[in-house]
Amino acid sequence: MNTDIQNYLNDFEQLGNDIKTDWFSKQRLSALSLFKETGFPSSRQENWKYTNTRPIAKETFSNTSTRQSVSISAEEIDAVRFQDLDCYELVFINGVYSREHSRIDGLAKGTVIDNMADALAKDNSKNNEILKKHLAQYADNKVSPFTALNTAFIQHGTYINVPKNTVIEKPINILYLSKESAKPFAAHPRNLIVMGEHSEATLIENYIGLDDANYFTNAVTEVSLAPSAIMKHYKIQQESLNAYHIGNLNVMQDKDSRFESNSISLGGSLVRNDIHGQLDAEGASIVMNGLYMTNDKQHVDNHTRVDHLKPNTHSSENYRGVLNGKSRAVFNGKVVVHPQAQKIEAHQNNANLLLSDNAEIDTKPELEIYADDVKCSHGATAGQLDQDMLFYLRSRAIDEGTARSLLTYAFADEVLKDISFTPVKNRLEYLIVGQLPDAKLIREFTNE
């Protein structure tokens, strides 16, 4: 009955003892046995009600080194880089770290940015201590079988440690690039970011398909914020339209820390993003913004969850979707206010634009509240472009196609306009206009 996972079990054997630390092997093994037990989730589970993972389960992906044989030229990478942005950059090709293309020199003393596999293999007791303390502590293997699968295959990924009172001025840009290889492959990037007290950093995770290859990205990111730490996090998902993407972001927040998540989903044939924020001390706050644009037969599922574990914590969330073709999008936002967590403010909003009669949106904003001194709200809408607005533009001699594109752009821009980091904002605006018909015309309109 579990033939779907046999391939993963075989590949796990081949991983061997690449990293010999005792605690780490234990982590991997227990995650694997958990995955073995549960297998892939079924749509009978409430958490996966609208997303069928069969397409991923029934394919055979290679999880091991065969994927390394692909080479990518500097030009290809340049094409997807932030051109003028001065940043630290890590490049992964088909899930494997490329030292050659990465730029992580000139870091402040004490700051570590490294490939996860290298960090784990290094004999550095201080580092090992931190890894042991934080790795696999915030992403719960029991919540999603995909997280368990990722934990079993931890190898490459990004490890960042920002010490106390350190502000990293330059953003950290991570490029996960994928390209056709001999066999369809699965990559399990694992990122761990440990932010010390009063530290600050900006992180951009890019998942980019360079062609229309068939592969499976199963990423997990864990973030730990010490008191008063600030992190801005951007995830830009532009996987190939034949690729599967499962992404899991887990944040644990201490006193007065602040996390800002921006998740933009444009590519992939079957995509699932999970974001889980845990506000574990007073004064912690999280902002979650998201935009998904789907077309053809794409399926994009966004699940978010915020746990208000302590009093005086705040969360706000704004997700928007534009659906075209025969695509389907799912949104599930959950806010849980735990007992005795008073003085909470939590707001959540999800708006969807249906551009086609064959598209489908399933949205479920949830509130679960066990305390009384709270201000919580949520809203969800699904609809089409406002006819009055269309008429207004048409009456000013703008043809219907352009008017529609303009209004669609304006709808999506509601999420982008809140992005505080300008280079990312500009790039996203460019990308989003590119997804619309009459891109050139809109650029003329919006760039004056």
Partner 1 sequence: MSTNSEKMEDLVGKDYEHGFVTDIDSDTVAPGLNEEVITFISKKKEEPEWLLEWRLKAYRHWLTMEDPTWAHLDIEHIDYQAISYYSAPKKKEDGPQSLDEVDPKLLETYEKLGIPLQEQKFLAGVAVDAVFDSVSVATTFKGKLADAGVIFCSFSEAVKDHPELVKKYLGSVVPAADNFFAALNSAVFTDGSFVYIPKGVRCPMELSTYFRINASNTGQFERTLIVADEASHVSYLEGCTAPMRDENQLHAAVVELVALEDAEIKYSTVQNWYPGDENGVGGIYNFVTKRADCRGDNSKVSWTQVETGSAITWKYPSCILKGDNSVGEFYSVAVTNNYQQADTGTKMIHLGKNTRSTIISKGISAKKAQQSYRGLVKVSKSADNARNYTQCDSLLMGDQCGAHTFPYIEAKNSSAKVEHEATTSKIGDDQLFYCLQRGIKEEDAVNMIVNGFCKEVFKELPMEFAVEAQKLLGITLEGAVG
Q: Which residues would be at the binding site for partner 1 (CB under 8 A)?
A: 46, 339-340, 342, 352, 354-384
Closest separation between CB of residue 236 and partner 1, Å?
Answer: 27
Interaxial angle between packed helices 387-395 and 400-416, expressed in degrees from 0 to 180 and rounded to the nearest 10: 120
d(C-alpha 36, C-alpha 52), whole Å = 19
Given the complex with partner 1, which of 179 and 334 has the nearer CB atom? 334
**Residue 108: DSSP 8-state:** P
- The 10 Å Cβ neighbour count of residue 444 is 11
- The 10 Å Cβ neighbour count of residue 374 is 19
Given the complex with partner 1, which of 379 and 434 has the nearer CB atom? 379
For residue 351, what are the β-bridge partners? Answer: 320, 381
Closest separation between CB of residue 358 and partner 1, Å?
Answer: 8
* One-letter amino acid of 389: M
d(C-alpha 138, C-alpha 254), whole Å = 13
Query: Is 29 within 8 Å of 16 (Cβ atoms)?
Result: no
Given the complex with partner 1, which of 251 and 354 has the nearer CB atom? 354
Closest separation between CB of residue 371 and partner 1, Å?
Answer: 6
Question: Coil, strand, or helix at residue 218?
Answer: strand
Given the complex with partner 1, which of 210 and 323 has the nearer CB atom? 323
Closest separation between CB of residue 119 and partner 1, Å?
Answer: 41
- The 10 Å Cβ neighbour count of residue 316 is 16
Closest separation between CB of residue 372 and partner 1, Å?
Answer: 4
Tokens of 4: 């779907």
Closest separation between CB of residue 147 and partner 1, Å?
Answer: 24
Write out the E strands in 104-241.
Answer: 112-115, 158-162, 172-178, 186-187, 190-195, 200-209, 216-225, 230-238
Given the complex with partner 1, which of 247 and 365 has the nearer CB atom? 365
Given the complex with partner 1, which of 354 and 419 has the nearer CB atom? 354
